[in-house]
Amino acid sequence: METRILTYFLKIAELSNMSKAAEELHITQPTLSRQIKTLEDSLGVKLFQRGNRSMTLTSAGIIFQKRAQRIVELVNKAEQDISDQTELNGVISIGCIESTVSNFLGSMITSFHNKYPKVRFNLYDADGSDIHEKLDRGTIDLGFLMTPVEVAKYNSIKLPVTDQWCLAVPKDHPIAQQTKIATNDLRSLPLIIPTRKIVQGEIFSWLHIPANELNIISTQNLVSDSLFLIKAQIAFAICIAGAFYDRPDPDLTLVPIDTDTVVNHVMVWRKNYTLSRSAITFIEFIKEQVDDPNSLWQLYSKASK
C-alpha cells in the first residue's frame, strides 16, 4: 500500500468532500474516486459513507484514519531524518508544554538556527500526556516538560528554567486582591487541576491535602480548556504561571500559591532510539548552553531573577 494513497484518504477524511480533496491534491476527482475505491476493495471494508455533497467516515474508516495518520507521520519522519545525513539540514520535531520553558526553547532555536540555518523545526504545543505519546510513537524527537516526568523511559537534561504554582481566578473575585493564597485555603474552593496523574500526585504532596478533601470540579489538559469555568466562577484552576504569561487574559489574574515547591523543567528523548544527526546536534547544543555559565540564556536568567 503506497503512502500516497493514505495521503489521499486522509485528505478526504479531513475535508469530507471528494471534489475539494481532489482540488487540494491536484488530481482529478475521478482518479481520486478510483484510488479510494481500490483502497476499500483491498481492505474489504467501506471507509466512507457517501452523501450528495459530503463523505463521512464509517466506524472502520475512523479506525483506519488513526493508523494511516501514524504511518504517514512515521514515513515523513524517516524521510526527514535521512535527508540530514549528508549535511545538517533535516527537521527536528519538538513537543513543548505551555510554560516559561517555551521562552527558553525559542531562545535555543534562534541561536541554533543562526549556526545551522538549513535545519528546520516542527513545533507542537501540547500537554505532557500528548508529548509523551508522540515521543513513544516516534513522531517527535524531543519533549520539553515540567517535572515530574516518567524518567525510566527517557534520557533527560535538567533545564535552567523554573515556574511557580498559581491559582487562576477572575480579576473581580476577592481572592484576586491577595498577594498569595495559603494551601489550606484551597480546601474550601472549587478547583480545576491538571489531568496527568503524576502531576496530580505532586500537587497533593506539596499541598499536604488528600485528594478526597479537595473540591475538584474538573481536570484539564491545557489551561485554555478551562477559561469559561474560571470566568464563570464555577471553579478555579491550579496551574503554572507560565501557562498564562504567553497568552494573558484581561479578565483573569494569577495568585501565587504559598508553597516552597518550584516547578522545574527537563528536555527528554527516548532511550534506545536512533535520532537524526540534526536532533543529536541540537541536544548537544542545549547541553553546551545549559553548562556554560556565560551563555546568553544563563546571563539572561541571572539578570531576570
Q: How do residues 176-190 score in pLDDT, each as one tens digit? A: 999 999 999 999 999
Domain housing 117: 88-159+264-304
The DSSP secondary-structure symbol of 273 reads -
| Residue 47, domain CATH | 1.10.10.10
Q: Look at residue 80 in the predicted model and tell me its pLDDT.
A: 65
pLDDT for the residue numbered 78: 74
Provide the pLDDT for residue 74.
Answer: 81
Give the residues of the chain that fall short of pLDDT 50: 299-300, 303-305
Give ∠ CA 45-46-48 in degrees, rounded to 5: 155
Q: Which residues of 181-194 are buried (b: 16+ CB within 10 A; e: fewer)?
A: bebeebeebebbbb
pLDDT given at position 140: 93
CATH number, domain with residue 169: 3.40.190.10
The domain boundary, picked from 46, 81, 116, lies at: 81
Residue-level pLDDT at 300? 45
Q: How much is the pLDDT for 297?
A: 53
pLDDT at position 1, please? 66
pLDDT, residue 233, reads 93
Same domain for 64 and 151: no
Per-residue pLDDT at 281: 94
Please tell me whether residues 190 and 245 are part of one structural domain: yes
The verdict on 37 and 96 lying in the same domain is no
pLDDT at 243: 84
Number of domains in the chain: 3
